[in-house]
Structure 1
Amino acid sequence: MRPLDVGVIGCGTAGAAAALFLARAGHHVTIYERVPRPKAVGAGITLQPTGLHVLARLDLHHHVLARGARLDRIVCETKERRSLIDLSYGALGEGLFGIGLHRGVLFETLFGAVRREPNIVVQPGIEVVDLARAAPNGRERRSWFVDAAGERHGPHELVIAADGARSQLRDDSSTSKRITPYPWGALWFVGIDPSKLNPDGTRDERARTLHQVVDGSRRMLGMLPTGRAPTGLAEPRQPDPRLISLFWSIRCDRVEEWRKAGLPAWKDEVRALAPEVETVLEQIEDPAQLLFAQYHDVVMHRWHTRNVAYLGDAAHATSPQLGQGTNLALWDAMELADALADEKQNLAAALADYSRRREDHLAFYQLATRWLTPFFQGDVEELGKLRDFAMPLMGKVPWMKRMMTLGMLGVVDGFGGKTLTLKLPVVHRVKPLKVPRASQSGEKSEKAEKPARVEASEDAPSA
């Protein structure tokens, strides 16, 4: 496709990644970001193999692997320490792992690359609230970007809406849509990881595990190893400690009540659930140290119009129950770039192709997240009891556990047994990696497996 004049709204994960892919393909990109001075903020996120695949294609995985914490397992237990979920990345192939990461590290990685890219111009401090059709230029449609002050910017041939779950630009799409705030959110705290080095220089298994403890459907505590702070936040000539993110489930309408109540009662509640987090709780001295995050369920029938593509949370926000939001956003950016790279398609056809490419993958993860969330964050205690009964049984059925693990990796591509093919930076011996599809019988077959190519990287974090 000939070079396009592209306007990207939002310089978060999806917007920055899409801008990089398209600029490197020869398109001219302008990013509009509402924050006057974008900087590294946030708490912990989980990068799955899908997200690492995209970053490797952008050649940006080195910094993320160096600053992140390797994850080998995801564990969820009840208050009584009854195992509900215990999933290992390595069960599906050597070299598979996740990364616990400070969100700011991913931001500084992507934004740093954006600033170095000659085909990208960044316009900070501009909040785009509407799109307006420009006069036709030949056969191509162009759109003006209208900011909060009513001023116009552009126009641009291709519009990428990547401005988050609260995007106002979905109204410009005639496609059916539904935006529903979740009644539950989470409090986040990033502190120093108390785990110690073993004599051989490695860290204990808990330092490589996303660990959750639940008590019914109303209480959930999580501990996510988060690696190291963004380099822009690190104090010069000061220690660069490993971090851990604590998250606590809370109803959105009770956050202010929680803040006014103070910390002692809440800390007692957390200790009763997980006494081992005491050294992290000691670092919390003020309620203001905990960030509150609210989540939305965004459903769109398709993720494009004639000249607009919707990416990331603006297109398909979910709760963080499966830890896939960042990874889905990165995959969006890659699939959009690949659709636009087809020289046989015009812009409208390429955007329709983008929606087709995303349909199966997003359908699975949106439905799975929507279905699971009430069992972990909700007001119906009976769902928590049902979860405690059913999930241990599911984990004992081989094909179901394999399906759960594939879901954790982010590679399930719809409901027909398909999986995505990955090219990963790996830490162990390189060998052909077969990611098996789930089958009802639990047996493998040559047709049910897709080999995922792997590439070696010295930057992969050690165990």
Structure 2
Amino acid sequence: MKIKIIGSGFAGLSSALYLSRNPSNFITIYDKFNRVQSVGAGILIQPSSMEVLRKLNLYDDLLKRGEKIYNLVGINHGDRQVFLTSYNDYATQCFGVGIHRSTLFQLLYDQCKTKANIEFKLEREITSLEDQSLFSDLLIVANGSHSCLREQIPIKQSYRLYPYGCLWTTIEEEYTVPNTLYQYLKYSREMLGMLPSGVDDHGKRIISVFWSLPVTSRNTYTKEEILKDMKFHLRHQKPELIEKLSQANYSFAVYADVYMKKYDHKNIVFIGDAAHGMSPQLGQGANMALLDSYFLNKVLTESDNNVELALPKYTSIRSPHIKFYGQASKFLTPLYQSDQQLYGRFRDIFFSIAKYMQFSRNISSQILCGKKTSWIRNKEIEY
């Protein structure tokens, strides 16, 4: 089967790896850049997608290059612990893995290069699904949340930019508290995230730093003003950390909420952020992309590469999981990124109480692990 993939992110590369296991498949990956690369800071790999990486024989590499995360802690501007979400509430010895985006990308890309039935065509920006070079048995669109290709198919959909984005950077630093992701909060307008992200190519431990900022006013803040606010949140940390943040270079990321009623049309399927982009607040973007690739390969294998049968089944299997996390993202994001101070006050009160309730902690950890599919039923994804 001839397969074309638009986009070489996590969704595109992992799909190519899975589909290349069938020797009758030949996969071509298109990317608009002149070299295959990943841009961004750290990501949090959840238990839901670790199984996907295990099946790709990348689990050991993930643990070698990443940092195990056992807890997520939120501290507000009054030094009060707002929330504590522990993977241990879901299952004993459960954890997430903080890893730099480019590190995981390189693990996937290096495997792709070893496959004789995967080829890359670079500097090829695809702007039309009518492009003759896309003629294939299966076309996979995996070029991100800002893809211009969605609107070219007759599927009910929506695309909305989030009002808040974030500045991000990566610094070399020994962790103040190992195995813990920290969020420092001031109402819902200020949020500083500190994610241990494993080791870089030189074996040095790194932290990914995220600073929430309104998209419309990102150019009105000076670096000095932002650092002043960061220093307030990190006032109890060692001075060396503050110094490294002042010397770091920052990039800005914009996020979008993407909804599609279904993900398939004829022989075309949308996966990853191109199909269901959401806020990074729940830390599920990379995990969703990896799960998409696994289930797409699963339905194709079970249908003997019958695309007409497989793609509708893919939509049916993935919809409940994606719908749940899309709704959760829309609900939770304003509590952390909003101009409404009241939202932040509500969050602080609600989660400060909920963290002492085992039932609430169980639900929070289940959502964090990326496996929940329903608000009502206690049903998880099935591999």
Give the TM-score normalised by structure 1: 0.79
**1:96-135 matched pairs, under 5 angstroms:** 96-132=94-130
Q: Which residue of 1 aligns with 2:243?
A: 282
Q: Which residue of 2 aligns with 1:165?
A: 145
Q: Deviation at 1:213?
A: 1.1
- Distance in 2 (CA, whole Å) between partners of 1:409 and 1:305 is 30
Q: Deviation at 1:64?
A: 1.8
**In the alignment, structure 1 residue 246 sits paired with structure 2 residue 209:** yes
**In the alignment, structure 1 residue 419 sits paired with structure 2 residue 380:** yes
- C-alpha change, 1:285 and 1:81, in structure 2 (3 Å) is closer
Aligned-partner SS, 1:128: coil
Q: Deviations over 1:282-332 (max 9, x none)?
A: 114457x01111100001101111111111110000010000000001000
- Distance in 2 (CA, whole Å) between partners of 1:387 and 1:94 is 27
- Distance in 2 (CA, whole Å) between partners of 1:344 and 1:103 is 33
Q: Deviation at 1:280?
A: 2.5
| Aligned counterpart for 2:256 among listed residues 296, 302, 311 | 296
Q: Which residue of 2 aligns with 1:212?
A: 183
Q: Which residue of 1 aligns with 2:328?
A: 368
Q: Deviations over 1:117-168 (max 9, x none)?
A: 1111111111111112xxxxxxxxxxxxx3xxxxx41411100000001111
- C-alpha change, 1:333 and 1:344, in structure 2 (3 Å) is closer
Q: Which residue of 2 aligns with 1:440?
A: none
Q: Deviations over 1:177-215 (max 9, x none)?
A: 0000001011111001233xxxxxxxx7x2110011111
**In the alignment, structure 1 residue 320 sits paired with structure 2 residue 280:** yes
Q: Deviations over 1:386-445 (max 9, x none)?
A: 1111112222222221011000000102232101357xxxxxxxxxxxxxxxxxxxxxxx
**1:195-210 matched pairs, under 5 angstroms:** 195=175, 206-210=177-181
Q: Deviation at 1:344?
A: 6.5
**Does structure 1 conserve the Cα–Cα contact (< 8 Å) formed by 2:258 and 2:274?**
yes
**Does structure 2 conserve the Cα–Cα contact (< 8 Å) formed by 1:192 and 1:280?**
no
**In the alignment, structure 1 residue 24 sits paired with structure 2 residue 21:** yes
| Aligned counterpart for 1:405 among listed residues 365, 369, 372 | 365
**Residue type matched to 1:208 in 2?**
N
**Does structure 1 conserve the Cα–Cα contact (< 8 Å) formed by 2:9 and 2:38?**
no
| Aligned counterpart for 1:394 among listed residues 349, 354, 357 | 354
**Does structure 1 conserve the Cα–Cα contact (< 8 Å) formed by 2:303 and 2:309?**
no
Q: Which residue of 1 aligns with 2:33?
A: 35
- Distance in 2 (CA, whole Å) between partners of 1:390 and 1:61 is 36
Q: Which residue of 2 aligns with 1:78?
A: 76
- Distance in 2 (CA, whole Å) between partners of 1:312 and 1:372 is 21
- Distance in 1 (CA, whole Å) between partners of 2:196 and 2:178 is 6
**In the alignment, structure 1 residue 175 sits paired with structure 2 residue 155:** yes
Q: Deviation at 1:372?
A: 0.4
Q: Which deviates more from structure 2 when the two are superposed, residues 292-301 or residues 88-97?
A: 88-97
Larger radius of gyration: 1
- C-alpha change, 1:421 and 1:352, in structure 2 (3 Å) is closer
- C-alpha change, 1:304 and 1:121, in structure 2 (3 Å) is same
Aligned-partner SS, 2:135: strand
Q: Which deviates more from structure 2 when the two are superposed, residues 272-281 or residues 375-384?
A: 272-281
- Distance in 1 (CA, whole Å) between partners of 2:318 and 2:303 is 20
Q: Deviation at 1:77?
A: 1.7
**In the alignment, structure 1 residue 273 sits paired with structure 2 residue 233:** yes
- Distance in 1 (CA, whole Å) between partners of 2:90 and 2:344 is 29
**Residue type matched to 1:267 in 2?**
L
- Distance in 1 (CA, whole Å) between partners of 2:239 and 2:345 is 27
Q: Which residue of 2 aligns with 1:10?
A: 7
Aligned-partner SS, 1:117: coil
Q: Deviation at 1:36?
A: 0.7
Gaps of 5+ in 2: none
- C-alpha change, 1:308 and 1:192, in structure 2 (3 Å) is same
Gaps of 5+ in 1: 133-145, 147-151, 196-203, 235-239, 423-463
- Distance in 1 (CA, whole Å) between partners of 2:94 and 2:133 is 44
Q: Which residue of 2 aligns with 1:431?
A: none
| Aligned counterpart for 1:222 among listed residues 177, 193, 207 | 193
| Aligned counterpart for 2:53 among listed residues 37, 44, 55 | 55
- Distance in 1 (CA, whole Å) between partners of 2:153 and 2:359 is 40
- C-alpha change, 1:190 and 1:344, in structure 2 (3 Å) is closer
**Does structure 2 conserve the Cα–Cα contact (< 8 Å) formed by 1:78 and 1:214?**
yes
Q: Which residue of 2 aligns with 1:451?
A: none
Q: Which residue of 1 aligns with 2:66?
A: 68
Q: Deviation at 1:114?
A: 0.8
Q: Which residue of 2 aligns with 1:446?
A: none
**Does structure 2 conserve the Cα–Cα contact (< 8 Å) formed by 1:54 and 1:331?**
yes
How many corresponding residue pairs?
A: 380
**Residue type matched to 1:227 in 2?**
G
**Does structure 2 conserve the Cα–Cα contact (< 8 Å) formed by 1:46 and 1:99?**
yes
- C-alpha change, 1:380 and 1:21, in structure 2 (3 Å) is same
Q: Deviation at 1:345?
A: 7.4
**In the alignment, structure 1 residue 257 sits paired with structure 2 residue 207:** no
Aligned-partner SS, 2:361: helix
- Distance in 1 (CA, whole Å) between partners of 2:266 and 2:93 is 41
